[in-house]
Amino acid sequence: GRAYWRKGRPAEALRYYGEALAVSRAAGHLEVEIVALNLSGTVHLFSGRPRTAVDWYERALTLAREAGDRESVHRAVHGRGNARQALGMLDDALADHTQVLAYCRASGRDFGETASLLNLAEIEVDAGRPRPALVHADEALRRGREIGDVRAQARALEYLPRVGALLNPDVEHILRL
């Protein structure tokens, strides 16, 4: 499925994941079923169908909770948060990504922590709340430097001017020069 998705063929990816779901259910492989549901959600999300993606992520979330699979729970919550953000459900997205951040911190997933902080910053920017966005972006930059996460550092440095423009509209003019 991922190969189809990477080649820009989402319909074929979804067909593949559908087959994986059927086989995993028949064989009783709950782990594979959860993965296929999460990946189907991702294909729907990035194909412009965030409402459908939420449904797939919630199905994955239900099964992951039943299985006691914390990693899959948080993958589903992360995906659902992204889909909710795309739908403009910003407070729900914020709650989802806050839950993922707590999981990453508790389980020592440093790179997941920085990614979660940046997701929170982006949601706060979308919501027009620059001060919390600034706190999250600044923390992501600091943590990124501590752990050597160059990608997080670059994303945080990208957000900081956007947040600055929200805090001070005159900065927007300067950024265009």
Distances (CA, A) of 82 to 16, 21, 25, 144: 23, 23, 27, 21
Query: Who contacts 164 (Cβ-Cβ below 8 Å, separation ≥6)?
Result: 134, 171
Nearest alpha carbon to residue 138 among 175, 95, 167: 167
pLDDT per 10-residue tile (average), the chain, 177 residues:
74 83 85 91 93 97 95 96 98 97 94 95 93 93 95 89 76 52
The pTM of the full predicted model, rounded to 2 decimals, is 0.86
Q: What is the pLDDT of residue 175?
A: 52
| AA letter at 155 | R
